[in-house]
Structure 1
């Protein structure tokens, strides 16, 4: 989806760890929670748009959504897993 060279340069804005593409199983789980209306971002806003992918922090405790090929690295828009 995203260029691996670009991904290798990106860091989590919250903890500074390297980011990597989230597994499809994580993305599926996130989209199921969005469809159920039970997912909120770190700013406590309800998430209503499904994600195409995500960038996970090193410990895989949060992802940054990718929609239409564009990652959002805004800390408040991160999704805690």
Structure 2
């Protein structure tokens, strides 16, 4: 997983606000939606591979996926949590 010392330094690339680690239950729910074909990124591309974890913005409406211990902080690859 991502080093906690690193997480406190990471910021949302869209808003510049701090990010926090997603709960296990949120990651599980996102992965269920990915498997069901219901999750798309900000480019409206279907997300096909499950995530290992995620970083959530302060508003709790966007998740940046973590795969293989590496966070993806590319704005267009964020996962919308509203809907």
- Matched residue SS, 2:55: strand
RMSD of aligned C-alpha atoms? 0.6
Deviation at 1:38, TM superposition (A): 1.1
Unpaired segments of 5 or more residues in structure 1? none
Off by >3 Å, runs of 4+ in structure 1: none
Unpaired segments of 5 or more residues in structure 2? none
- Corresponding position: 1:11 with 2:11: yes
Aligned length: 81
Provide the residue aligned with 1:74 in structure 2.
74
Q: TM-score, length-normalised on structure 1?
A: 0.97
Q: Which has the higher helix share?
A: 1
